[in-house]
A and B are shown apart, each in its own frame.
Chain A
Amino acid sequence: MGALNERKAPAPPEDTVAELNLRLLKLEHRFQRERAARLHAEAIAEKGLRDLYERQQQLVLLETIATVANQSRSVEETLRVAVRAVCDHTGWSYGNAYRLATAGPPRLTPADVWYAADPDRLAPFIALNQQAEFVAGQGLPGRVLGSGRAAWIADVAEDDNFPRADAARACGLHAAFAFPVLVGHDVLGVLEFFHREPVSPDEQLLGVVGQIGTQLGRVVERRRAEDKLMHDASHDPLTGLPNRLLFVDRLERAVAAHRRRSELGFAVLFIDLDRFKLVNDSMGHAAGDDLLVQIAGRFGRVVSEARGADAAPLVATLARLGGDEFTVLLEDVGGEAAAIELAEALQETLRRPFQIEGQDIFTSASFGVASCAAGYAGADEIMRDADLAMYRAKAEGRARIEVFDQSLLADAKRRLATETDLRNAVRNKEFILHYQPIFALDGERLVGFEALIRWRRADGEIAPPSDFIGIAEETGLIVFIGQWVMQEAFATLAAWRSAYPEAGPVTMSVNVSPRQFHQPDFVGQVMAAVRSSGVDPSAVRLEITESVTIQDARRTKSILDELRAQGVRVSIDDFGTGYSSLSYLQQLSFDTLKIDRSFVTALKGAGGEEIVRTILDLARSLEMDVVAEGAETAAHVEQLREMGCGFAQGYFFARPLEREAAAALLAAASTPDPGAD
């Protein structure tokens, strides 16, 4: 081995060296190839990583905006977050938002939403944009408005459609892009961004901001839908005026403001159209609606033109509470004077007729005023009082303005007390009937009675119908009272007929109130009372006022026809005092017409006789009997008889009598008159 070690290694042959050199060269080439491949792979991977990173950042951006878009209810707040997020994401210096103008020619106006990382340096440009407006095609925002697509300017200094180039350059801004806030194809706003350096268009970024524009559009759309829902919930769909909900809300705030600062006065106006129901009933609901819309329009103009003492416009809310009821809330007014003045103006605006279905319709309204002077704690109290004042206006003859005072409240309380008493009276049967005799004028024969209700109150006082029938009608108690009247009156008649058969056939008239008449089973109730008393239906007279007949002529006719088919007779009461239409009178075949006492009283006056004669002629031609009411003197009776009036009642013959006195009259009629023999 040692010998071997000492020997020099033989030099490699020449061809082997060349071979090794070749292999080395190949290895170096292979190394270079591998290295180039590695660098290439790294470059590809770097690009992939960079793209992935940018994509992720874009997703973060979209997510940031999606989150605020989903959570925020404010369009402005969402825009603010979006502008800031896009600046943060891109590193661009300044972002600014425009919104589509809601009024005037279509154009973009500043949304007062912008962000700049360094606002001081950009102050002149920011200030310029806060005043800028763009129509479609004009400048960068206008281009986006016109096309509905995002736009990119690599350098605004070199763009021929960028009017703000000087200001941008002065602030060192070069690249710009903008994108639309889109709902469908509608551009509702535009966001623009600026950068310090010129930057060539980045299609990927434009794609991302396009998605942001769509998201922002959804927020605007949702906000619009919410606004519409809110509007619908707080406004009357027919007139577009605020509804009760919104009115009460504003009133509550006015009350609260007044309590905080007493100089912030307010007043409330309650308005109820007079006889609106008549239009609805006679012309149909479409006509009624048309009238309400027109009235709302006139009221709206008056309210918006109304000026306070200092000639400044009044802070006023006109609302429709429902039906034909309107209200106005006046804020920041001293007291009720402004409300009265406004009520007068509103009343004035109703003087001109309304054109409804080609007809001139006249209407008026009753106004109730209540003001903060009474120191209210809540909206319900002031609404109650304005309502009470309005009812007073109505009761005092309509088309009036009444201001609430405490006596109205006292009245209302009294009415409420009466209502309670009346309920007890129904339960305790505190009613009695008086009977007023009706005489035939040929020979002054007793032919019947009109049953008249009285209320014998707990204190023994006898109250006339005028004290309680109105309340009974309003509360519906009239239905029970009316039923009792029929039962009592018919039973009395039955008792008298068996007690005084010789007195001849006398009739019993009872008054029927509108509410009672319109009970679904009115005919059944009448016939039940007739049957249980055992009287002949033909001895019964139901007296109906004209107001019953105008409510629903067709139904009225069918009820009257049914009653008459059962043998019951029907009178039209207080004839001439309502709004009778002669055609109704003809259609609704009454048996008897009762001339209102006012005409009889006026017989002596100018034209008095002609009126009564006309009524008599009318009744004769319609083949109706006539009973004159209020015959107080011998002269009345003589005159009526001469004119051919068949029957009369009144103080000349007898006052309404208690049951015993009436019976005595019958008893007297039963005794043969010695003089007649």
Chain B
Amino acid sequence: MKGVVFNLLEEAVVREFGPDVWDDLLLRADLSGAYTSLGNYDDEEILALVEAASAALNLPRAEVLRWFGRRAMPILKERYGAFFERHASSKSFVLSVNSIIHPEVRKLYAGASCPFFHFREDAAGAVSMDYDSSRRMCDLAHGFVEGAADLFEETVDVSHAACMNHGDAKCVMEIRWAR
């Protein structure tokens, strides 16, 4: 997992709960916590942090990930504003993830293994998003979508039609924007 994700998580936790909570999470997860955005760290570390947060906050893991995704979005916008500027809606932003955002990620991290999201848009404007990753972080993606909707001041509903965490071969999320 890229260091920038750890940085985002730290930032989100510090903003909402203060720096001590982040230190506590690191202690619980038994991690050093020295993350630079340019670094690449073991996937286990992010999972351990999510577990620690889940235990500390008494929230399911999925909830933690969704919370994190949602809170990370404004921080991302502060750091990488250009990706947001060219979009008028969260939908077009979400749809640009494969063609714009992930190529940009690869510029920084040669060989980065970004998940590929397969999008299908129906006549009503709803988008079905396939997610297939060994990290099984569909809830993070879910949170990102919600966070994006917040940024564009839109309301969105995300439901998991299929989920790897529930034994499906891949995740399928149905995303509906409120009119």
Rounded to whole Å, the gap between the CB of B125 and the closest CB of chain A is: 18
B179 within 8 A of A: no
Neighbour of B37 across the interface among A46, A50, A54, A197, CB < 8 A? A46
B38 within 8 A of A: yes
B58 within 8 A of A: no
Neighbour of A50 across the interface among B36, B86, B99, B107, CB < 8 A? B107
Rounded to whole Å, the gap between the CB of A28 and the closest CB of chain B is: 9
Cα distance A79–B177 in the bound complex, in angstroms: 45
Neighbour of A53 across the interface among B37, B99, B108, CB < 8 A? B108
Output the nearest chain B residue to A31 by Cβ-Cβ distance: B19
Rounded to whole Å, the gap between the CB of A122 and the closest CB of chain B is: 17
Cα distance A39–B38 in the bound complex, in angstroms: 10
Neighbour of B38 across the interface among A45, A53, A91, A197, CB < 8 A? A45
- Annotate B67-109 by CB proximity to A: 1 below 8 A, 0 otherwise: 0000000000000000000100000000000010001101110
Establish whether residues A38 and B36, one from each chain, have CB atoms under 8 Å apart when the complex forms.
Answer: yes
Rounded to whole Å, the gap between the CB of B7 and the closest CB of chain A is: 8
A42 within 8 A of B: yes
Interface size on A, residues (CB 8 A): 11
A622 within 8 A of B: no
B contacts with A: majority SS: helix
Task: State the total of A-B contacts with C-beta under 8 angstroms.
Answer: 23
Cα distance A197–B103 in the bound complex, in angstroms: 17
Output the nearest chain A residue to B107 by Cβ-Cβ distance: A53
Rounded to whole Å, the gap between the CB of A431 and the closest CB of chain B is: 95
Cα distance A45–B38 in the bound complex, in angstroms: 8
Given known pairs A54-B107, A197-B86, the reply for A49 and B38 (CB within 8 Å) is yes
- Annotate B107-142 by CB proximity to A: 1 below 8 A, 0 otherwise: 110100000000000000000000000000000000
Interface size on B, residues (CB 8 A): 11
Rounded to whole Å, the gap between the CB of A143 and the closest CB of chain B is: 26
Establish whether residues B36 and A49, one from each chain, have CB atoms under 8 Å apart when the complex forms.
Answer: no
Rounded to whole Å, the gap between the CB of B131 and the closest CB of chain A is: 23
Rounded to whole Å, the gap between the CB of A61 and the closest CB of chain B is: 15
Cα distance A42–B3 in the bound complex, in angstroms: 11
In the bound complex, residues from chain A placing their C-beta under 8 Å from that of B107 are 49-50, 53-54
Cα distance A53–B38 in the bound complex, in angstroms: 14
Cα distance A50–B104 in the bound complex, in angstroms: 8
Interface residues of A in 229-278 (CB under 8 A from B): none
In the bound complex, residues from chain B placing their C-beta under 8 Å from that of A49 are 38, 107-108
In the bound complex, residues from chain B placing their C-beta under 8 Å from that of A91 are 99, 103
Establish whether residues A46 and B108, one from each chain, have CB atoms under 8 Å apart when the complex forms.
Answer: yes
- Annotate A6-48 by CB proximity to B: 1 below 8 A, 0 otherwise: 0000000000000000000000000000000011001001100
Cα distance A343–B18 in the bound complex, in angstroms: 104
In the bound complex, residues from chain A placing their C-beta under 8 Å from that of B110 are 53
Output the nearest chain A residue to B108 by Cβ-Cβ distance: A49
Given known pairs A53-B107, A54-B107, the reply for A42 and B36 (CB within 8 Å) is yes
Rounded to whole Å, the gap between the CB of B119 and the closest CB of chain A is: 16
Cα distance A91–B98 in the bound complex, in angstroms: 12
Cα distance A53–B37 in the bound complex, in angstroms: 17
- Annotate B35-53 by CB proximity to A: 1 below 8 A, 0 otherwise: 0111000000000000000
Cα distance A46–B37 in the bound complex, in angstroms: 9
Cα distance A91–B104 in the bound complex, in angstroms: 12
Further contacts, 11 of them, CB under 8 A, given A50-B107, A91-B99, A197-B86: A38-B36, A42-B37, A45-B38, A46-B108, A49-B38, A49-B108, A50-B104, A50-B108, A53-B107, A54-B107, A91-B103
Which A residues contact B (CB, under 8 angstroms)? 38-39, 42, 45-46, 49-50, 53-54, 91, 197
Listed from nearest, the 6 A-B pairs whose CB atoms lie closest are A53-B107, A42-B37, A50-B107, A49-B108, A45-B38, A46-B108
